[in-house]
A and B are shown apart, each in its own frame.
Chain A
Amino acid sequence: MIAAIARKELTSALRDGRIVWSAAILALMLVAALGSAAQRYAAISVERAAAQQLVDEQFRNQGDKNPHAAAHYGIYAFKPVTPLSFFDTGVNGFTGVSIWLEAHRRNMAEGEPARDATAIARFGELTAAFTLQMLLPLLVILLTFSSFAGEREQGTLRQVLAMGVSPVRLLLGKALGAGAAISLFLGPIFLLGLVALLLAPGGTHWLSHGLLLAGLYAAYAAVFVFLALAVSAGADSSRTALVVLVALWAVSSVALPRIASDAARLATPLPTAIEFQRAVAADLETGIGPKPVDQLVAERREALLRLYKLDSVEQLPINFQGIVLGLQEQAGNAVYDKHFGSLFAALAKQLGTMQAFSTLSPRLAVQLASMELAGTSMAAHRLFADQAEAHRRKLVDTMNEAVVTEKAGVRGGAELWGRVEPFELRPEPLAATLSRLGPSLTVLALWLAAAVVAALLAVRRLRALAS
């Protein structure tokens, strides 16, 4: 029975010119979005890889000099783009694309593409994720807003119910039919996206992410299917149903994300760049450890002199200056850990506020989860920043160790520079990504449950006659 109802729904959807046209336009937009973003991804990917290679070469070929000078010479870490960024660019337009790694300083990422973009870019980037988040619910609404209300107005609902079809079965059949229609329209695009992903360099690692994304958007569509059926069943006319559903869509997809953004900003203000620098500079000067750096240096000096039974550091078999540099670097790193840590904590709190608002907006929940799965969220950017910082520390430590071990006329050469491995971003395991999806997936699950319950309640009191 349910299957028969579903088949009927599907057939009438395919016969409705408005629906077919809308689906075709949506499909076209998706293809355009995927195509343009894939091309951009390919270009950016190549460019970043080449840039990283270039700066690695520059570091290797910097000539002979004191290793600590090489630590000041530094290197750039360029942020690679993940293959799924062609699906959802996330925050990539607003985060820096490179970090300058040098001794004594932890820098922030620079070169946000948004600085060079036009104001029109703020309307939203045409990505598949944007298209699906904004337009897929409208297609669903178009498919189902007159599902019950329209049949009631035409009189066919009375006939179907008179035949003894249970309203719940009717609901499930219509939901299945809508789902089948959407799968039919978007299935080919999904396969296209999957192929594009597998063809992209490094794409196979992200296959599971891609499939999860498909599941995410399927759940998103399902929320709207049941919500629209609930409203259609409960509304007194199909016109009312349409207005209510579109209003719901407009508020949750267009207005709420912005309100959430401002609420997050107001709830947890971030330090300004000046305040941040000032705080860091103050802590660097006074030190935050239990003992000031000078004392640590003095203690180490005493310990070494006692160990080797010598009178002065010049007699030591190692270069004490390297040890001093190491201790200073450690002290500095502790300060940066503290301040960057609290900055990231503030960003996490802002995300928490947005996730709280996402309980009112399924679009926001999907948007946040989609970014995580595509590897274009703030957490992904933090992964890059943390790994770049780890690379910086390793580079500086390698240089300082060289200062320690080489005694007279400390000079490093290509051999020493070659000891520093080129920077390569290691993607995080899927489990780590999934652990961050908890809030968004919970919200989506709640919405789906609520929508199903609302639909079941609405059909239980289904009115066969139009008033």
Chain B
Amino acid sequence: MFRIVFAQELRNLAGARTWWGILGLLAVLIVLAAANGGSRFARMAEGASRLNDDETTLQRGLRDAVARYEAGPQGDPPSASSPGNVGLSLLGHYARLPFPALAALSVGQADVQPGYYRVTAKPAYTFTGVSEIQNPLTQVLGSFDLAFVLVFVLPILIVASSFDLLSREKEAGTLALVAAQGVRLRTLVLAKIVARAAMILPVLLALVLLAGVIVGADLADADTLLQLLTVFAVAAAYAAFWLALAVLVNSLDWRSETNGVVLANAWLVFVVVMPAFVNVAASMLYPAPSRVELTTELREASEAADREAAQARDAYLFDHPELAGAGAPLDEFYLKVLASDAAVEKAIAPILRRFEEQAASRERVVAGLRYASPAIAAQEALNALAATDNARFGDFSRQVQDFHARWRAFFSARIARGERLRATDFDAIPAFEYRSPGYAPSRQAAALPLAFLAGSAALLLAWAAARFRRYPVV
């Protein structure tokens, strides 16, 4: 019996022009969105590949100057051999975050958080505040990426194709006829659900894979393929939620028009209103630490530390006795700079730590709020899978801090020991390489939202099943 009804349902859907219109629209939007995202990240990658060009040229020039002097020492050593001059004045290194190809599927925070930092031997806070040049207006309006199509548009299409799932048949009178033939209501509803799923899910899978191809992902790579399949799983679970909601609304025995209005309202609430409310709740319960306060506190602290520069110098060597070399340090001036920088950093460390702790605990608290709406859960899952969520940028930032310590130690050790840079030293200057956690952790991060979406869908269906028990077919 199920098979017969299911086959009929499929025929009905396939025969309806609006149905193909909906699928066609989804295809067009997904292709456009993927192409759009791809172009954005392609441009970013192209610029990023040239980041260190200037520094490499500069470094080579300095190395050559030193090598020439070493080959035939004449006159004073070149300024290129001064670790203070090179490390504290001239050189910097661009540490960049490479984005996987699938990042183009969801812009996430990639247009707000820095994708690279210019690391110098100065305290970290001097270079972490710099951002990429963006038009804030484009950031406010948002981007038309795959995540947008899945989170905002897909529900509308699902609702449009299933808001009158059962109510249409009841109003037309065919429900009574079908029931009279001995088809159980449960069988009919199940057939309708499965038919819709059978028509949407394969198309959605194909489109997600196509989107992956468009943004340049290597589908032959098992890890990338698995990631794309996880993206599809999130989209499918999200679609399942909306389908389940439509079924539930149908089970309440209202007119088709009312169903449409109720589901449209549900879309409004879950996708537009709830996230905005969650925002307000987050910023009231757990306001972001103030950058204005941070700026003025850093200023005051570095102020005070600067004034004690002379004492700071002795204190520095006291803290790092291993760096006190035999004989007078060559870079007297740079040693003072190092010492005052160290004093400033010591003074501001508690301020920065407090700021970061506040930001981190805020992120944890707000993370729980993502379950207030399936739209938020889906968006966050997609951001995580695309490696454009705050967690990824946080990890990048931490790795940069570690690298900064290594970079600075390379030069400060030589400054404090009074050594000159040799040509071989230039070859040993550290370079940043981002250690990517790979896709696996992001799949774990997306697991909970995915379970939430699927679980909610199951709950709604169970509720609907209970209502259908008392559903009048005439």
Residues of A within 8 A of B (CB): 18, 29, 32-33, 36, 39-40, 47-48, 51, 54-55, 58, 76, 78, 90-91, 93-98, 108, 110-126, 130-131, 134-135, 138, 238-239, 242-243, 246, 250, 254-255, 257-262, 264-266, 269-276, 278, 343, 347, 350-351, 354, 364, 367, 377-378, 381
Complex Cα distance A111/B109, Å?
16
Q: Are A55 and B299 in contact (CB under 8 A)?
A: yes
Interface of B is mostly: helix
What is the bound-complex CA distance between A255 and B152, given in angstroms? 9
The residues of A that contact B379 with a CB separation of less than 8 Å are: 119-120, 123
> Does A111 contact B359, Cβ atoms closer than 8 Å?
no
Contact B135 A264 (CB under 8 A): yes
The complex places the Cα of A82 from the Cα of B165 at a distance, in Å, of: 50
CB distance from B299 to the nearest CB of A (A): 7
A114 close to B380 (CB less than 8 A): no
Which residues on the B side are within 8 Å of A97 (C-beta)?
A: 291-292
Contact A273 B292 (CB under 8 A): no
CB distance from B452 to the nearest CB of A (A): 15
- The minimal Cβ–Cβ distance linking A159 to chain B, given in whole angstroms, is 23
B389 contacts partner chain A, Cβ-Cβ < 8 Å: yes
Residues of B355-379 at the interface with A, using a CB-CB cut-off of 8 Å, are: 359, 362-363, 366, 369-370, 375-376, 379
Q: A94-B134, A118-B390 are in contact. List 10 more A-B contacts (CB 8 A).
A: A32-B277, A40-B283, A76-B296, A115-B291, A116-B289, A119-B109, A124-B279, A261-B138, A278-B54, A350-B135
CB-contact partner of A120 in B153, B264, B282, under 8 A: B282
Q: Which residues from chain A contact B317 at a C-beta distance below 8 Å?
A: none
Chain B 121-164 near chain A by CB (<8 Å), digits 1 or 0:
00000000111111111111111100010001100100010000
Give the chain A neighbours of B131 by CB distance below 8 A.
96, 108, 110, 112, 115, 273
Structural contact, A124 and B276, CB atoms closer than 8 A: yes
Task: Report if B224 contacts A (CB, 8 A).
Answer: no
Is the Cβ of A120 less than 8 Å from the Cβ of B295?
A: no
Q: How many residues on B have C-beta within 8 angstroms of the other chain's C-beta atoms?
A: 76
Residue of A54, A125, A259, A272 near B296 (CB, 8 A) is: A54
B142 is contacted by which of A48, A51, A55, A122 (Cβ under 8 Å)?
A122
Residues of A within 8 A of B278 (CB): 120
Query: Which of A93, A343, A351 touches B133 (beta carbons < 8 Å)?
Result: A343
The verdict on B112 contacting chain A, using a C-beta distance below 8 Å, is yes
In the complex, are the beta carbons of A242 and B257 less than 8 A apart?
yes
Which 9 A-B pairs have CB atoms at the shortest separation, nearest pair first?
A123-B275, A94-B136, A261-B141, A126-B276, A111-B291, A91-B136, A116-B288, A258-B144, A94-B139
* A98 contact from B94, B277, B292, B359, Cβ within 8 A: B292
Query: What's the minimum C-beta distance from A286 to chain B, rounded to whole angstroms?
Result: 16
A–B Cβ pairs within 8 angstroms, 19 of them: A36-B280, A91-B140, A98-B295, A113-B291, A115-B113, A120-B380, A124-B272, A125-B279, A126-B277, A131-B276, A242-B257, A261-B138, A261-B143, A262-B36, A265-B135, A270-B133, A273-B131, A350-B138, A378-B135
Q: Please, which residue of chain A has its CB at the minimum distance from the CB of B372?
A: A120
Contact B138 A273 (CB under 8 A): no
The residues in B between 269 and 317 inclusive whose CB is less than 8 angstroms from any CB of A are 272-273, 275-280, 282-284, 288-296, 299-300, 303
Question: How far is it, in angstroms, between the C-alpha of A367 and the C-alpha of B390 when the chains are bound?
Answer: 28
Stretch from B8-16, B39-47, B188-196, B214-222 forming part of the interface with A: B39-47
Query: Does chain A have a CB within 8 A of B349?
Result: no
The interface residues of chain B lying within 8 Å CB-to-CB of A269 are 43
Task: Please indicate the chain A residues that have their CB under 8 angstroms from the CB of B144 in the complex.
Answer: 255, 258-259, 261-262
Chain A residue nearest to B288 (CB atoms) is A116
Instruction: Give every chain A residue within 8 A of B362 (Cβ-Cβ).
Output: 118
Given contacts A123-B275, A269-B43, contact A255 B137 (CB under 8 A): no
- Chain B residues within an 8 Å CB radius of A48: 292
- Contact (Cβ within 8 A) B260 A116: no
Q: Please state if A51 and B295 are interface contacts (CB–CB under 8 Å).
A: yes
CB neighbours of A36 from chain B (8 A) = 280, 283-284
Q: Report A391 CB to chain B, min CB distance, Å.
A: 17
Q: How far is the CB of B352 from chain A (nearest CB, A)?
A: 13
Q: Does B268 contact A (CB under 8 A)?
A: yes
For the complex, give the distance between the alpha carbons of A33 and B294 in Å: 27
CB distance from B147 to the nearest CB of A (A): 10
Taking a contact as CB atoms closer than 8 A, the residue among B129, B142, B275 that contacts A257 in the complex is B142
Residues of A within 8 A of B275 (CB): 120, 123-124
Please state if B260 and A120 are interface contacts (CB–CB under 8 Å): no
**B90 within 8 Å of A by Cβ?**
no
Main secondary structure of the interface of A (DSSP, over half): helix
A323 to chain B, nearest CB (A): 27
A276 touches B133 (CB 8 A): yes
User: Looking across the interface, which residue of chain A has its beta carbon closest to that of B118?
Assistant: A274
Contact B141 A257 (CB under 8 A): yes
| Contacting residues, chain B, for A378 (C-beta < 8 A) | 135-137
Q: How far is the CB of A384 from chain B (nearest CB, A)?
A: 12
Question: Do B39 and A266 touch across chains, with their CB atoms under 8 A apart?
Answer: yes
Interface presence of B256 (CB below 8 A): yes
> Is the C-beta of B83 less than 8 angstroms from some C-beta in chain A?
no
Cα A93 to Cα B280 in complex, Å, equals 13
Query: In the bound complex, how far is the Cα of B160 from the Cα of A237, in angstroms?
Result: 17
Bound: A97/B290 CA distance, A = 10
Q: Is B227 an interface residue (CB 8 A)?
A: no
Tell me which residues across on chain A come within 8 A of B135, comparing CB atoms.
264-265, 270, 347, 350, 378
Interface check B108, CB cutoff 8 A? yes
Query: In angstroms, how far is the closest chain A Cβ from the Cβ of B78?
Result: 20
B261 interface residue (CB < 8 Å to A): yes
A130 touches B129 (CB 8 A): no
B51 at the interface (CB under 8 A from A): yes
Q: Give chain B interface residues in 369-426, CB to chain A under 8 Å.
A: 369-370, 375-376, 379-380, 383, 389-390
Contact at A273–B133, with CB atoms within 8 Å? Answer: yes
How far in angstroms is the closest Cβ of chain A from B38? 12
Specify which chain A residues have a CB less than 8 angstroms from the CB of B277 in the assembled complex.
Answer: 32, 126
Contact present for A118 and B129 (CB under 8 Å): no
Q: Check if A118 sits within 8 Å of B282, measured CB to CB.
A: yes
Residue among B36, B135, B156 facing the most chain A CB atoms (10 A cut-off) = B135
Q: Please tell me if the beta carbons of A239 and B376 are within 8 angstroms of each other in the complex.
A: no
In the complex where A120-B370, A258-B144 touch, is A51 in contact with B296 (Cβ < 8 A)? yes
Given known pairs A119-B390, A270-B134, the reply for A47 and B47 (CB within 8 Å) is no
Let me know if B273 and A243 touch, CB within 8 A.
no
User: Once the chains are docked, how many angstroms separate the CA of A231 from the CA of B362?
Assistant: 47
Residue of B nearest to A381 (CB): B136
Q: Across the two chains, which residue of chain A brings its CB closest to B264?
A: A246
Contact of B292 among A51, A117, A364 (CB under 8 A): A51
Point out the residue from B47, B129, B256, B289 that lies within 8 Å of A239, measured CB to CB: B256
